[in-house]
Structure 1
């Protein structure tokens, strides 16, 4: 069979497999009587070079452990696969959060598998490379009652779904272009949304310099440009080009030359990035250049939505993102909900984009990032930045809130209400990250949580839920979602957690006679 025929055959086979989602959807989406097997494959099927910029990236497979709370449905079974074995205390921690379900009952309905492979190869590929493991996973699933979910969907996840004969509740990999930087810009144009002036997709630095010079000529007042790898994520693939030191070249060739000479001096957002390495990635992934949005008072909000297998579009949440890095491009965390001044506008824009994506055949979660700049009259100007067709940094905090409280998001005011009618807010981060936390085991964290009453309290539905426990000992890094009855309360709960962890680690380090470097090995 020729490559083209084989590709078409696989496409048709996958579409036939996906048609099962329609009959499974009602059970999978049920909040009480769900009766299905959920296979969670949290593979970060992303560019390896970009993944290397994220410390402890292999442990980011733990971000979807909030899915364990689906076991609150007494007939749901969940199969969770990871690259390396999960610490038993991490599993116990999540299962003990389940409201109204005995721990033992939930644990019996949870199966854990591991490839025992620490490499940066995508988890989905690791599973495909282990036929015996693949068969064990397949045997654990009920035929015609199973759905596979993942972090992001690529051809590898499609191949895995076909091998397991399990429909994939995720984006068809044939549609991945719409989640790239260039694809996002095309959808913004189709939807008539405001977005920054920028370029088409290019694959070498010569063309990139030409596009940047054209943009500068169109907008000579620009102070900075953003160079973006087409498939970068969390801001790690962005670099800032400061135009101010370049003067005001009067001709196009002079602008191109000045920009080309400035490329090695780009301000890279990812750790340890170099122009030589970035240049190689441009050839591999492609890149665009955009106008940098300036503003004295600006925010980076986002809207999250979901497209069901039935083709309906639902808005799930809005957030204000917390950004860091040299030029404020790196995603660190988020707070829910987004500011009242623009959250309803975010919902409307998200719905417009969701309908466009649904018409293209997309399903499951999508997120849209914006920049919001306050004008002198107090209004906010929203500019669409990019579309994420995967689970992202704002997915698991909202899933945690939703599954813990079984509440609902209301479009009327953009707030989330518990079953008791109490509005809920949270402040979340994947990146509470300090050198003194290194050497702190998950068990140590549990001791600290219990002693200082920092855990989530199901009676008040406030407190903190932790994740990324596997990152803690080696990297001094942990994730948390602090939930409160107001945004100020959620922020205060988060602040208290950080304060306690700082105090406890400083106390232990001071008392110990061993040097920090020895203790952290």
Structure 2
């Protein structure tokens, strides 16, 4: 064993030792209104940076965890939030005014904000690790015996920061990240006997990818399309579609060559992707070929769950995802809950997958994406579910659900798959990170606050309905905004959502490029994460 290997092994052991403290602190973590905790939020999107460049305004995704500020309604909770650049004061005020019964000044005193003042296109955690004085200020602010750290996803960078601060990280050990890749997900689905599309083994070069693609086609001769996926891609941005129809008359002996030639004509889900770039990424990230699930009526539901420090698996929520892009594979938003005809089935499958992940040592939140294909009739719909991938991170469905939970202080009912507020009202929402129009560009956070107040778009704690906005810092440059519209029925949630869009459109009427800003597409097909 080399010195480097020995050092890495020692770090891994120290990290796991830190995480054992979570078992003792779990009650304080789980009971957010009663515990006495210091919560360090590191909202770093520590994913492949070249893939992230496809997502407009990705640095503003650090704002998605600001729903955590609602935890300050517990007068004993302290929260430390770190970002790349300072947050606009009006954004902080917007969240703190949501705390019923808590004086604004009391909540503000228990919130510490730090920034690296570094806007470079690199993970926030990497920037923090480069600043030992900042780390020391964070360390001094924490009551380490009552602290834990929360991240978007857990990589060696987040593990290193956890070790330097001496506080446990609520998340899976980075050594388990394989189980959140395309090939790792498929392995777990097979182990759990969960239906999933036929696909290939993981390969690392174009020639092998062509070979396994042909082998998949030979196993499934009726396939019309095959999806080529980067193993560590996310939100559909790393997917490309191969149309087999033009190749139907190719002799079997010539299929590998024909597939190789067809790769240059792949239909990419990201509008900016090219085969030249995509092929290079195969050598770095690996790739698989997977059967495309056909069907006239399809949906993309998902289930979210968590694995507690005690090893228990709990279902958090189910969603129907809203997808876009050329072939409907780009994540744009979601509706809660998933359709009643399959949401309980989603829960059962989520428990199976969660138990497998728990046995492997995974921790905290994960999500599983599915494709649902309608096989029945309109009068008696029946849906077949196919598992697509596991996300070992706090993905695009995490923050809207946590927003609902913290705003209403309610709970999820496993028997019905519904969420009930403390007023015993069933709650529903529609959420997105990708409300984006060129006419919204140039709006400052204060402008948005004016629009919210004038049109009464805020969340009403009395009726427990309305909209909570996020990613407000993304609005001025990219015309992009996130929101969660909550109602007492699916129809009301949709109506509230549309009311927001109508109000924004009316308030920005005639604003298309009126500031001399470069033109953009009216709606972007860049997905969320």
Partner in structure 2 of residue 491 of structure 1:
494
Count how many residue pairs are aligned between Structure 1 and Structure 2: 516
Partner in structure 2 of residue 79 of structure 1:
80
Contact between 1:439 and 1:519, CA under 8 Å: does it hold in 2?
no
Partner in structure 1 of residue 514 of structure 2:
515
Distance 2:57 2:283 in 1: 27
Distance 1:501 1:487 in 2: 22
* Structure 1 residue 110 displacement after superposition: 0.2
Q: What CA deviation, in whole Å up to 9, does each residue of 1:118-175 have, x standing for no partner? A: 1121111110100110100110001211000000000000000000001000110010
Partner in structure 2 of residue 177 of structure 1:
178
Partner in structure 2 of residue 247 of structure 1:
248
Distance 1:335 1:285 in 2: 31
| Secondary structure of the structure 2 residue equivalent to 1:54 | coil
| Secondary structure of the structure 2 residue equivalent to 1:281 | helix
The TM-score with structure 2 as length reference comes to 0.96
Matches for 1:319-334 after TM superposition, within 5 Å: 319-334=319-334
* Structure 1 residue 295 displacement after superposition: 0.7
Q: Does 1:261 find its partner at 2:267?
A: no
Q: What CA deviation, in whole Å up to 9, does each residue of 1:409-443 have, x standing for no partner? A: 10111000011110000000000000000001111
Distance 1:416 1:376 in 2: 28
| Secondary structure of the structure 1 residue equivalent to 2:350 | helix
Distance 1:364 1:240 in 2: 33
In structure 1, stretches of 5+ residues that fail to align are none
Q: What CA deviation, in whole Å up to 9, does each residue of 1:339-360 have, x standing for no partner? A: 0000000000001100111111
The TM-score with structure 1 as length reference comes to 0.97
Partner in structure 2 of residue 140 of structure 1:
141
Distance 1:492 1:121 in 2: 38
Distance 2:414 2:249 in 1: 48
* Structure 1 residue 5 displacement after superposition: 1.1
Distance 1:228 1:241 in 2: 11
Distance 2:104 2:209 in 1: 56
Greater mean deviation of Cα atoms: 482-491 or 91-100: 91-100
Partner in structure 1 of residue 428 of structure 2:
425
Distance 1:248 1:518 in 2: 50
Matches for 1:425-504 after TM superposition, within 5 Å: 425-504=428-507
Partner in structure 2 of residue 103 of structure 1:
104
Greater mean deviation of Cα atoms: 466-475 or 8-17: 8-17
Distance 2:14 2:487 in 1: 46
* Structure 1 residue 100 displacement after superposition: 2.2
* Structure 1 residue 518 displacement after superposition: 5.3
Distance 1:399 1:376 in 2: 34
* Structure 1 residue 519 displacement after superposition: 10
Matches for 1:80-479 after TM superposition, within 5 Å: 80-251=81-252, 253-377=253-377, 378-479=381-482
Contact between 2:302 and 2:321, CA under 8 Å: does it hold in 1?
yes
| Secondary structure of the structure 2 residue equivalent to 1:419 | coil
In structure 2, stretches of 5+ residues that fail to align are 520-529
Contact between 1:62 and 1:468, CA under 8 Å: does it hold in 2?
yes
| Secondary structure of the structure 2 residue equivalent to 1:516 | coil
Distance 2:102 2:224 in 1: 57
| Secondary structure of the structure 2 residue equivalent to 1:365 | strand
Distance 2:465 2:517 in 1: 37
Matches for 1:36-75 after TM superposition, within 5 Å: 36-75=37-76
Q: What is the RMSD of the two structures over their aligned residues, measured on CA atoms?
A: 1.4
Contact between 1:199 and 1:212, CA under 8 Å: does it hold in 2?
yes
| Secondary structure of the structure 2 residue equivalent to 1:118 | coil
Q: What CA deviation, in whole Å up to 9, does each residue of 1:448-501 have, x standing for no partner? A: 110111110000000000000010000000000000000111011101111111
Distance 1:32 1:49 in 2: 40
Greater mean deviation of Cα atoms: 12-21 or 476-485: 12-21
Which consecutive segments of 4 or more residues in structure 1 shift more than 2 A? 247-250
Contact between 2:151 and 2:171, CA under 8 Å: does it hold in 1?
yes
